[in-house]
Amino acid sequence: MDPISGLTAGGHSMSGRLTYYVALQLTSVVLPGAVALTELTLLGVHFYPHQGHDVTFLLSGLAKVQGSGAILFAALGIGASFVIGYATRATGFALTGRVERAATWLTRRRNRPVHSDLARVRHVLGDDLADELPSLHPALRHVDPATATAPTPATARAAIPATPTPDTPDTPTPDTPETPTPDAPTPGAATADDLRTAPTLPAGGAHRGDGSVHAFEYSKLWLRRFSPVLNVDSMEIEINILVSTVLPFALAAVEAVVFPRLPPAFRLVVVGVCVVAVVVVLRQAIRLRQAERWYAIRNVAFDLSMRRAATRYPEAIEEPGTQPG
């Protein structure tokens, strides 16, 4: 198990949630904020020197700070790192969200399929479980905003009102039970019209402001509460770390350009490395965000499938590590 997964394995308890929160803030806010604060300080000294004092003078002055002054200076530095880190992470999420939406728009413009998460569940685990999920978890009825523009054949057929024939009454007789047709929509599932007319909802992390974000949050909360082994918290930490590094890389490229004492070849290398790093980070962050949304829904389906299977196993092997007698 990797360190982050081990760290988040106990997220269902209060101590585990506190550990998770502290780790998230340290790795995605305080540390990137400290890097950004250092870079901004260097830029400030470069553009606004005081009586000819440069970075060397600043570093020598910091080395002389001792005692209570050092404690106060460290506290101010941590506080500033926290504030700047929040702004850094928010900027990274905003940029990642815009790039992700642009990529989705290009995908649709090229008439490439936008895959449905529930369709993936249906493909992996079968029709019965995929139909039961929205019934047990009504929040999952809005899991696929893509169906608002590209409805599935089942929802498209369900949206067309049936035309009764003279031999078929509009309503079933009292002594004839009504049986659902194979193409009938899943109970509680959202139609394409529902998704098109749904209001924009508040969402963090630059997620889409539709019902899908609440289906995603519901899935994460369910896994944390009822199946912590299947939660996706480790992916959330990794995404936060990635997006929080975008602005520090950009500031490093700016410093390489504006500092006059750096050799031109070194400047070019630093700028190139920073640009490549930003592109790689954005691609990886978008890939992980999409995977996180899918894994959250998939793991809720896995949880249901495992609970079903556990009820059908012989009692002798219900406990882990035991063998059937």
Phi/psi for 287 (5° steps) reads: -60, -45
Under DSSP, the state recorded for 162 is P
Residue 318 in any domain: the answer is no
Query: In Å, how far are 92, 93, 223, 227, 324 from 32, measured between CA atoms?
Result: 11, 14, 29, 32, 53
Q: What is the DSSP-derived secondary structure letter of residue 10?
A: T
Average pLDDT over residues 268-285: 95
* 84 domain-assigned: yes
Asked if the structure places residue 254 within a domain, the reply is yes
Distance CA 74, CA 80 (A): 10
Q: How far apart are CA 157 and CA 305, in angstroms?
A: 28
Range in 129-143, 201-215, 259-273, 284-298 the model is least confident about: 201-215
Q: Is residue 147 part of a domain?
A: no
Confirm whether 148 is domain-assigned.
no
The conformation of residue 160, written as its DSSP 8-state character, comes to S
Task: Give the DSSP H/E element, type plus range, for residue 296.
Answer: helix 264-312
> What DSSP string runs through 32-69?
HHHHHHHHHHHHHHHHS-STT--HHHHHHHHHT--THH
For 272, the token pair is 């190139």
- Asked if residue 145 belongs to a domain, the reply is no
- Average pLDDT in the chain: 76
- Let me know if residue 274 belongs to a domain: yes
Collect contacts of 156-164 with beta carbons under 8 A, ≥24 apart: 156/192, 157/183, 158/183, 158/184, 158/185, 158/191, 159/191, 159/192, 159/193
Q: How many domains does the chain have?
A: 1
What range does the domain containing 265 cover? 3-49+65-115+193-313
Percentage above 90 pLDDT, the chain: 34
How many Å apart are CA 142 and CA 154, to the nearest integer?
Answer: 16
Query: DSSP string covering 238-281, please?
Result: HHHHHHTTHHHHHHHHHHHHH-TTS-HHHHHHHHHHHHHHHHHH
Token pair of 259, please?
């500092």
**Is pLDDT at 91 greater than 60 in this prediction?**
yes
Nearest residue to 217 (alpha-carbon basis) of 147, 151, 137: 137
Rounded to an integer, what distance in angstroms lies between the CA atom of residue 289 and that of residue 140?
A: 18
Side-chain-side CA neighbours of 154 within 13 Å: the count stands at 16
What is this structure's pTM?
A: 0.69
pLDDT tens sequence across 16-58: 778 888 999 999 999 999 999 999 988 888 777 666 566 677 6
- Of residues 71 and 88, more confidently modeled: 88
Residue matched to tokens 């479980």? 129
DSSP 86-101: HHHHHHHHHHHHHHHH
Q: What angle do CA 90, 93, 99 make, to 5 degrees?
A: 145
Whether the predicted pLDDT of 189 surpasses 60: no
Res. 115 pLDDT band, cuts 50 70 90: low
Q: Flag whether 132 is in a domain.
A: no
